[in-house]
Amino acid sequence: MCFLMNIEEVFITDVCDECTICLEICPVNAIISGSPYMIGCECILCGKCINVCPSCAIEYY
């Protein structure tokens, strides 16, 4: 299901403005709200959160 090949981890940077768009789009509810937002171990690396983030705060390696 992962379209992001060879990705080891997805993380949210401090650029996040807590808009909640990523929370709404995540199919497995892997994003944990709070300050800072975090991505939990449930993440399936689908990349949906990366594509919708208006502040480009979600990165991967």
**CATH at 54:** 3.30.70.20
Name the residue range of residue 26's domain. 10-60
Look at residue 3 and tell me if it is in a domain.
no
Asked whether residue 2 is domain-assigned, the answer is no
| Residue 36 counted as domain residue | yes
Residue 41 lies in a domain: yes
Nearest in space to 57 (alpha carbons), one of 20, 28, 24? 20
Task: Please tell me whether residue 24 adopts helix, strand or coil conformation.
Answer: helix
- Interior CA angle at 26 toward 55 and 7, to 5°? 75
Average pLDDT, the chain: 86
Residue 1 is predicted with a pLDDT of: 41
Confidence at 2, pLDDT banded by 50, 70, 90 = very low
Give the residue-averaged pLDDT of 39-54.
91
Give the pair of three-digit tokens for residue 58: 């979600």
Q: Identify the helix (H) or strand (E) that includes residue 52.
A: helix 48-52
Structure confidence at residue 6 (pLDDT): 62
Q: What is the pTM of this model?
A: 0.80
Q: Is residue 5 part of a domain?
A: no
Domains of the chain: total: 1
Residue 56 confidence (pLDDT) above 90: yes
